[in-house]
Amino acid sequence: MKSNKIIGALWMVLTTICFSLTLTIVRYIGTDMPATQAAFIRYLLGAFLLAPFWLPVIHRLLYTEKKQSEKKLLIQRNNLVFFMMRGTIHSIAVILWFYATIHIPIAEVTAIGYSIPLYVTAGAALFFGEKMKYYHVIALTVGFLGAMIIIRPGFQEISMGQLAQIFASPIFATSYLMAKRLSFNESSIVIVGMLSLFVSIAQVPMVLFIWVTPNLTDVIYLGLVAFLATTGHYAMTQSFRLTPMTISQPVTFLQLIWATIMGVYLFGDNFDIYVILGGAMITLAATVIAYYDTKTHHYQSN
């Protein structure tokens, strides 16, 4: 229905606002504590926020009734191990993302982050056996060129912040591919909740070595980050449920617009036309993949 598509697009607009505000707050408080610690506190608060959803999962794993089959119990415990693996991988990406957000303009963080769907596409072909079609190759090439326009190697010095976000993107993509596998037998809210739990656990050893006692204001801000990020992920899920990717994917470009405006007016970032151009190319590449994949799936279903 047309109304569902409009509502789905509005959910994606809310997603872009939540994620842009998340970037802004992290950038604002970033100089007061190490990136690893900020990431740890954010995910720990997120875990508490979603505890009502993941606690029943833990209970089910620990106190499975004997009448359940051994096969079902084995699948559940394998999922727990997979949750742990994903939390460890995702925590590395999050630390890199926090570092990038603190050290480079938030518009640049956003633009480079648009490459994640492209890595997911390539990973799905490698690990899930999904066929790589000609438009995938063309779109991935355009997306790569867009990333090169953003960082402009040879024309400017590539900063550590840029490198952090460049490396974070494929690691995030790996985490999302793992989430796709988990989605076969776990709900979206449980996957998000368990992610917050195990990212927090994975970061404990690193945080112990660099811990700086945070002030109450920073903790409150990170709590707000946890709330906004969780809301953003929920809104994104709702958008995907109601609206084809061909509609929702172009709307994500709004996040780059919000990030650019906030970066310029709140932090004095320079307006960089190359970041806008590169981000637009990466968004276009992801949209093309979404369009043709949706079209192909539609034909196969009929």
CA dihedral angle for residue 7, residue 176, residue 168, residue 243, rounded to 10 degrees: -20
Give the domain ranges of the chain. Answer: 2-301
At residue 89, the pLDDT reads 92
Kindly state the average pLDDT of the residues 63-91. Answer: 65
Q: Could you give the CA distance from residue 69 to residue 71 in angstroms, rounded to a whole number?
A: 5
Q: What is the pLDDT of residue 18?
A: 92
Contact at 8 Å (CB) between 99 and 202? Answer: no
* C-alpha distances in Å from residue 42, one per residue of 32, 83, 108, 118, 275: 14, 18, 22, 27, 27
Q: Which of 52-61, 96-105, 201-210 has the least mean pLDDT? A: 52-61
pLDDT at 277 over 80: yes
Structure pTM? Answer: 0.75
> 222 with 36: CB under 8 angstroms?
no
pLDDT at residue 165 is higher than 50? yes
How far apart (Å, rounded) are the C-alpha atoms in residues 292 and 140?
A: 14
- The residue that leads in pLDDT, 216 or 125, is 216
Roughly how many angstroms between the first and final C-alpha of the chain, as a whole number?
Answer: 18
Per-residue pLDDT band at 73 (split at 50, 70, 90): very low
Instruction: Please give the mean pLDDT across all residues of the chain.
Output: 77
Burial 200-238 (b: 16+ CB within 10 A, else e): bbbbeebbeeeeeebeeebeebbbebbebbbbbbbbbbb
Tens-place pLDDT, residues 18-42: 989 988 888 887 666 777 788 888 8
As a whole number of angstroms, the distance between CA 47 and CA 202 comes to 13
Model confidence band, residue 71 (pLDDT cutoffs 50, 70, 90):
very low
Report whether pLDDT(74) > 50: no
Whole-number Å distance between alpha carbons of 182 and 79:
7
The confidence score (pLDDT) of residue 82 equals 82
Task: Say whether pLDDT at 83 is over 70.
Answer: yes
Asked if residue 196 has pLDDT above 70, the reply is yes
The single-letter code of the amino acid at 62 is L
Encoded tokens for 139: 């779109």
The model's pLDDT over 218-232, given as tens digits with 9 standing for 90+, comes to 888 888 988 898 888
| 130: confidence class by pLDDT, cuts 50, 70, 90 | low
